[in-house]
């Protein structure tokens, strides 16, 4: 199974989801759910985790967690292993509880709505699972942080941080009126129905955020990807590295994108750039030919072959 790279940095936000081993249950009763929340509270105390949302289902859980100390991996290792030991001890079981690696989607916390999207996804999970009837309010599902958001602050756990999500909902103060407005907005979002296009990046992607946010992450993980990581992630990383190289070369040549587009296909500087991309990235010859406006990939491949044999022009212009 292709793996997603763990990206860690101070202040990173993640949508974490973990399923039961073999699709089995991870919560056998409500005492287990209470024990998980108790273990989560301990993990937050140990690591500094700040939870923005959570939802406990029968065979999986969702967390939206912020890591001020860039320690997602260490914190999740402790949380999952400790809960496993406690569950097995209480029920006199043994073996794995969770299935392989947990999913950790990196979320853009810039305040542009990405945190709201992923938290809304988590809070609406009981609706998608048909655990609430049409006449029931969202807060009636007892194992979601939504009910905690609607409680007065003195009745909330210290590890739950509400200000960022309320802010992205346009609620500036954590007051009774603000909490009522939050519930109204969530019920209105529920009434809109499931939006597959909106949820797809959460279910399938490795990152949720603006293009520049994704570019920064790809630059951070450059050179850290292996064959065991997903093809999508490797492709995006190669493209980000390629764009960085192109930007460096254009700056050195004092060219614009228009110059790159209008220069002839045989231009020595363009071929030098193509050769560098071929040498330093995993971009295909077809991708390089298209990006640098060098005609057909077969023609470019032949030109680069001749250069490598010392029969082509190698000097920059």
In tens digits, the chain (317 residues) has pLDDT values of 445 567 889 999 999 999 999 989 999 999 999 999 999 999 999 999 999 999 999 999 999 999 999 999 999 999 999 999 999 999 999 889 998 889 999 999 998 999 999 999 999 999 999 999 999 999 999 999 999 999 999 999 999 999 999 999 999 999 999 999 999 999 999 999 887 788 888 988 889 999 899 888 887 776 554 444 444 555 665 677 778 889 889 999 999 999 999 999 889 999 999 998 888 777 888 989 999 999 998 988 888 888 877 765 544 43
Looking at residue 107, what DSSP letter applies? E
What 3-state DSSP class applies to 114?
helix
pLDDT at 235: 62
- How far is residue 222's CA from residue 281's CA, in Å, rounded to a whole number? 10
Is residue 66 classed exposed, middle or buried when 0-12, 13-18 and 19+ CB atoms within 10 A define those classes? Answer: buried
Q: Give 299's strand partners.
A: none
Provide the 8-state DSSP code for 66. Answer: E
- pLDDT of the residue at 215: 83
Cross-strand pairs, 106: 14, 207
Residues 6+ apart with CB under 8 A from 200: none
What's the CA gap between 311 and 260, in Å, rounded? 24
pLDDT at residue 310, as a whole number: 74
Question: Which residue bears the tokens 């979601």?
Answer: 144
DSSP code, position 108: -
DSSP, collapsed to helix, strand or coil, labels residue 195 as: coil
């Amino acid at each position: 199974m292709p793996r997603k790279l763990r990206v860690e940095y101070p202040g990173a936000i993640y949508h974490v989801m973990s399923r039961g081993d073999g699709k089995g249950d991870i919560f056998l009763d409500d005492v287990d759910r209470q024990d998980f929340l108790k273990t989560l509270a301990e993990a937050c105390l140990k690591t500094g985790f700040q939870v923005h949302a959570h939802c406990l289902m029968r065979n999986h859980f969702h967390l939206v967690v912020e890591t001020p100390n860039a320690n997602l991996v260490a914190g999740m290792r402790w949380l999952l292993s400790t809960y496993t030991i406690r569950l097995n001890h209480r029920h006199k079981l043994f073996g794995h509880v969770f299935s392989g690696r947990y999913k950790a989607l990196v979320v853009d916390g810039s305040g542009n709505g990405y945190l709201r999207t992923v938290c809304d996804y988590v809070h609406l999970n009981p609706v998608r699972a048909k655990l609430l009837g049409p006449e029931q309010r969202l807060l009636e599902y007892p194992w979601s942080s939504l009910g905690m958001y609607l409680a007065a602050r003195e009745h909330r756990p210290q590890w739950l941080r509400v200000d960022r999500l309320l802010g992205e909902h346009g609620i500036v103060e954590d007051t009774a009126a603000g909490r009522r407005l939050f519930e109204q907005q969530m019920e209105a979002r529920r009434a809109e129905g499931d939006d597959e296009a909106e949820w797809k990046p959460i279910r399938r992607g490795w990152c949720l955020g603006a293009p520049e946010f994704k570019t920064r992450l790809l630059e951070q993980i450059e050179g850290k990807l292996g064959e065991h990581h997903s093809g999508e992630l490797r492709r995006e990383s190669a493209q980000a590295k390629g764009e960085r190289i192109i930007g460096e070369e254009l700056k050195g040549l004092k060219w614009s994108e228009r110059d790159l587009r209008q220069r002839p296909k045989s231009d020595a500087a363009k071929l030098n750039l193509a050769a560098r991309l071929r040498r330093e990235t995993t971009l295909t010859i077809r991708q390089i030919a298209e990006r640098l406006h060098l005609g057909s990939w077969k023609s470019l491949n032949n030109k680069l072959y001749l250069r490598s044999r010392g029969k082509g022009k190698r000097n920059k212009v």
